[in-house]
Structures are given as C-alpha cells and as structure tokens.
Amino acid sequence: MIYLVYRMRLSERARRNMKEFWAWLEDRERWFYRDLPMVNEVRWYYSVVGDVYTLENWAAFDDEAAWGAYRKALSGLKADDAWESERVSQEEWWDFLDTRIMTDPPVATGFSRR
C-alpha cells in the first residue's frame, strides 16, 4: 500500500469557525474524491497536543501505478475551471505545510483490535 500524506495548518478562519470548518471538510472530501476511484481509503488525523490545529490527510493507493493514475486524473480535473476554482477555495481553510509518500513495511507488523 502507498499513502499520499498531506499536512495542513488550519487558517485563522477555520480556527474561529470550527463547526463550519468540519462541515466544509466533510462536504469537500465527498466532492474531491468522487471522481478518483483509485483512492482506496482516506484517513484524517487532527493534532490536539503539540502542533495543534494541524491536520494530516492520508490517501491510500494499491501501488505506484494507482498513485500515477491519481496524478493523471487530478491533472485532468484541474483543467476544468469550475473544478479548479472549487479546489483552490481550500486556501480559505488551511495552509499546506508539506507532502510525503509513505508505504507499508515489507514485513507483517502492526495490528488492530477492531
């Protein structure tokens, strides 16, 4: 599994309007990923101690080919002016800090009790 990880700091607007921000995030996630079927799973993590008001978004892909298909599809979507206008509205809610690619280790480690 490959994970594309974005880390963002919430904007002043988001920090002043947390209820509105969380509602926006739920709507945005549905909108953003609806035409990106190569994304298997999306997880969000919110820092509450230390680097507060920071979100991480982890998008999971089967392999590098699926991640490549995501990049290609995203490039096509960005060419649509209405879609791109909606995408960049995220700048009202957060500032991107960094991006990285992670992968599962090559051994059977980790567990879940769910």
pLDDT above 90 (res 15): yes
Furthest-apart CA pair in the chain: how many Å? 45
Region 14-32: mean pLDDT is 97
Query: How far, in Å, are 4, 38, 101, 104, 108 from residue 111 at the CA level?
Result: 21, 25, 21, 13, 9
pLDDT the model gives residue 81? 95
Which among 97, 95, 88, 114 is positioned nearest to 5, based on CA atoms?
97
pLDDT the model gives residue 36? 97
pLDDT above 90 (res 23): yes
pLDDT the model gives residue 112? 86
pLDDT the model gives residue 44? 98
At 25-39, the pLDDT tens digits run: 999 999 999 999 999
At 43-101, the pLDDT tens digits run: 999 999 999 999 999 999 999 999 999 999 999 999 999 999 999 999 999 999 999 99
Query: How far, in Å, are 54, 65, 75, 98 from residue 101 at the CA level?
Result: 18, 14, 18, 11
- 63-97: b (≥16 Cβ within 10 Å) or e: eeebbebbeeeeeeeeeeeebeeebeebeebbeee
Q: What sign does the dihedral 65-103-11-48 (CA atoms) show?
A: positive
pLDDT the model gives residue 67? 96
